[in-house]
Amino acid sequence: MTAYDPNNIFAKILRGELPCHKVYEDEHVFAFLDIMPRVTGHTLVIPKAPSRNILDIAPDDFAHVARGAKTIALAAMKAFNADGISVHQFSEAAGGQVVFHLHMHVLPRHDGVAMLPAASRKEDDKVLQENAAKLIAALKS
């Protein structure tokens, strides 16, 4: 399998070399808003351990990401008054993966509202800032 590339976008975000709208961080995981959200509040949860995808991540690191996704899911239900949550994880190009640092998408869903196609629209920075603040507040409550 292809080796992990430490210069992928999410590795740069983790190292603070690129900006992001961070919403959560602990010893093992980091979470930030997707800049091309498929729904309002679309969040990405990534491991701090360098892992390309589900095929190479250590099981314990994957468990940390799953735990982080649950934390974000519960907060997103409150923050965005959601009716449900979709969690996606894509591995390798054939699986739909575009950025090769493992990530789980946490997508707050509303009854009758379809997701936008992937990477179809870059969100306004101000809107992302407001949504990050809502999620951070819900994580604290």
Q: Write down the least CB distance from residue 60 to ligand AMP, Å.
A: 22
Work out the angle between the directed axes of helices 125-140 and 59-79 (0-180°, nearest 10). Answer: 100
> How would you label 23-33 residue by residue, b for 16+ Cβ within 10 Å and e otherwise?
bbeeeebbbbb
Distance, in Å, from the CA atom of 25 to the CA atom of 15, rounded to the nearest integer, reads 13
Catalytic residue among 101, 103, 105, 110: 103
Q: Could you count the other beta carbons within 10 Å of the beta carbon of residue 78?
A: 15
- Residue with Cβ nearer ligand AMP (118 or 141): 118
Site residues, ligand AMP (CB under 6 A)? 9, 20, 34-36, 44, 90, 96-99, 103, 118-119
Number of Cβ atoms within 10 Å of the Cβ of 107:
21
Q: Is 103 a catalytic residue?
A: yes
Active site residues: 103
